[in-house]
Amino acid sequence: MPRIPTAHALKNSLFGRRIKHYSRLAYIQLLTSLGMEMQAGGQPFQPSRPTAIVVSHEASATGAPILALNLVQQLSQSHNVVVMLLKGGALRQQFQASGTALIQARLAFVNRKLVKRALKTACKQGNPEFALVNSVVSAPFLEPLRGEGIVCLCLLHEFVTYVKPLDIFNEIGRWSSRVVCSTPLTWRDVLCHCNDLADVQVAVLPQGQCKLPEETQTDKPQRAQQSSNVQDAATFLQQLHQDTLLVLGAGAVQPRKGVDLFVAMAAEIIQQAPELKVRFAWIGSGYEPDYDFNVSIWLKDQIIRSGLTNHLVMLDESPAYQDLIDRSNLFVVSSRLDPLPNVAIDAMLAGTPVLCFAEACGIANLLEQQPLLHSAGVAPYFNCTAMARKAVALLRSPERMKQLGALSREQARRWFHMPSYIKALIKLAGISRTEVEQEEAELLLLRQKKLVNATFAYPMQRFTERELNQHYLLSWRSNIQARKPFPGFHPGIYREHQLVQGSRRDPLAHWHRKRQPKGPWLVPTIQPRDVIKRLPASSEVALHIHVFYPELLAPILDRLGQSKVKPDLFLSFSDPTIESQICQILHNNQLEASLHPVPNRGRDIGPLLSELGQKLDRDYTIHGHLHTKKSVLIDSSTAARWRDFLLANLLGDAEQPMADIILAAINSDPDLGLVFPDDPGCLGWTENRAHAEQVAERLGIQQLPQAINFPVGTMFWTRQGALSNLYNLGLNWDDYPEEPLGYDGTMLHAIERLLPQICMANGKRYAMTHVPGLSR
């Protein structure tokens, strides 16, 4: 009886994957054909005014959309403002009323075609001067807007910790004209997780105070309104005695806001100062212990077990929020991570001293500018006891509390002034406008001269000409996943040699305008079309293969069998159980090899350096180094493409015998010391610079460049003497890090990057291979 495949098996089959791919294409085409929802705004279009765009991911009555609405309302006083939304929400009508036009995506989908078409309708006078793209969640708009040559300021409020996948930050860095953070804490967090973004242009501007939107109809469940677990804020205020001190916290009830830490601090205050007549209140949506088993149920239990039932009250969101702020004596930001919470801004402007944790809240960074406020209000990270001590010190001293409240208000008026914030954003947009005009001129040059080879630079992408060149140019502008435009040319090396440090000029465009000068940035490529002049004798050539995955050895030997030169084989392996399998594979290919069992240290390069390097360098004119590459830290299909790319470049096949071509090139040129594939990606030292400098110092290499070519994947052919001093370092197995290794940041990754520098230090040059039509 035939076996019927399961739904899971069908979904993951080749047929299933193709169906999924074509279904996605059809879905995209359908949404693109439908266009975006468009409505006229409540403000008349005034031709004498400049036009700006404000992007919000949604129109809900929450933090980021409320800021976006305030931006629209403020900008509308001097600009025509087009509002763009990914999704709707309770504030949609207010967004529409405040702008000249409202554009909303269908099913939260946007692309270049949709945005181009929508802007053509909404902005008949031409492109807007700039776009304020508010929040990381609005990032899908960045590429389409920048694609239209519009200045994009991305207002980034989120921490990397709670945003996934991290690739979204690369997109923000590449497509934003400027990233604007409300606090340096946010960008420090980004750089800790995404070191590719180190060269992105960033401005730190504390946002202005947001006016809360007019009351809107909400779809709040009746259960929340009728719950006995929450009190009405207005009723609570009416019943609060005039002589009772009030410590307030605010925000949605969720783990990030640290409501549990607020409760813990309240318990500490009661313990430290039982004589104080003090109440604690938290106002915000989401406290539903009868239904929410993730947060609320545990908060209720914590309040009860901490003995705070008569001291701490949970209040639902309410129009009485501002009255609570005005009445409170202290405001506590207990968030685990919060860049610049609007509630803290409201409290400071109301003259209420604010307490927060260092390294958790951007308010702490601002308070550093005012030592009195910092000393009184910033507690060590998550130290509830220390925060309680600071709170008690203030609660026991009404005069000091009043003094700090006045100082808080004074500073807040200077820090959180919305008109000044808008003015600073407009100024940044003006500076960025000049840069975008230069980019457009360089884009035109790249397109007209067809300087970027799409097949080589972006083989997996289907770009229009503008998309191709803009992606290339902005990747180099931001130094995010930058790639070579064509084989042999490294824009980073050119920039390092020919442009002023910090220059925003595109190195490829600059190189072309300078009549394409030669230099270390342009390395000769060895290609299949090259004539084989003089092959070395097989006895002069050795090949080392480190075998970790024996199933990948046979394909290597099959490719090698197509070459005229038959090098002596040296095979190393760290797993003794695979020796018989290796022998069988050699037997099947009618080959012999010198077998070398080695410790499982040093990955593939360790066995070359510590076991075989000196012998191969002494006994052979040329030797090569390959390994059975899988790269388990990346997906299998990517690893397979990478492996095929390396082997096709270094060994080739019957039609393109790259091994013979490379060996002939080295044999014919005594100055050629190292040959490896030309990888289109421009990886640098990444996390390996410190390790590289240590090894370089031992080798007598004084200075390392910033931009480098190197054999990505550590496979190459080399001439006798080109790497001698590396082999002669005498590295032993204990010098290598123990397994398992990370993806980056080890001595082994550093040595991989140092190989061309070592070759050149030994008086040789390096070349790279390129097989037309083959890239990765």
DSSP string, 418-483: HHHHHHHHHHHHHHHHHHHHHHHHHHHHHHHHT-S-HHHH-TT----HHHHHHHHHHHHHHTSS-B
Which element (helix H / strand E) includes 31? helix 14-34
- CA-wise closest residue to 522 among 476, 487, 498, 481: 487
At residue 742, the pLDDT reads: 78
Q: Rounded to an integer, what distance in angstroms lies between the CA atom of residue 464 and that of residue 454?
A: 10
Angle at CA of residue 94, ends 93 and 96, nearest 5°: 65
Q: Which runs of E-coded beta strand occur in 658-748?
A: 672-677, 716-719
Angle at CA of residue 624, ends 623 and 627, nearest 5°: 145
Q: Rounded to an integer, what distance in angstroms lies between the CA atom of residue 368 and that of residue 365?
A: 5
Q: Are the C-beta atoms of 103 and 74 separated by less than 8 Å?
A: no
- CA-wise closest residue to 752 among 686, 653, 670: 686
Give the full edge-to-edge strand order of the sheet including 278-283.
312-315, 278-283, 245-250, 330-333, 354-357, 378-379
Which residues of the chain register pLDDT less than 70? 1-31, 33, 215-228, 631-634
What are φ and ψ of residue 269, in 5° steps?
-65, -45
> 3-state DSSP call for residue 309?
coil
At residue 250, the pLDDT reads: 97
Q: What is the CA radius of gyration of the chain?
A: 32
At residue 693, the pLDDT reads: 97
Q: With left for phi above 0 and alpha for psi between -120 and 50, is residue 218 left, alpha or beta? A: beta
At residue 222, the pLDDT reads: 47
pLDDT, one tens digit per residue, over 568-584 is 999 999 999 999 999 99
Q: Which residues have C-beta within 8 Å of that of residue 730, sequence separation ≥ 6? A: none
Other Cβ atoms within 10 Å of 707 Cβ, number = 20
At residue 28, the pLDDT reads: 65
Residues linked to residue 627 through DSSP beta bridges, in sequence order: 546
At residue 143, the pLDDT reads: 98
Strand 716-719 to strand 672-677: parallel, antiparallel, or no bridges (unpaired)? antiparallel
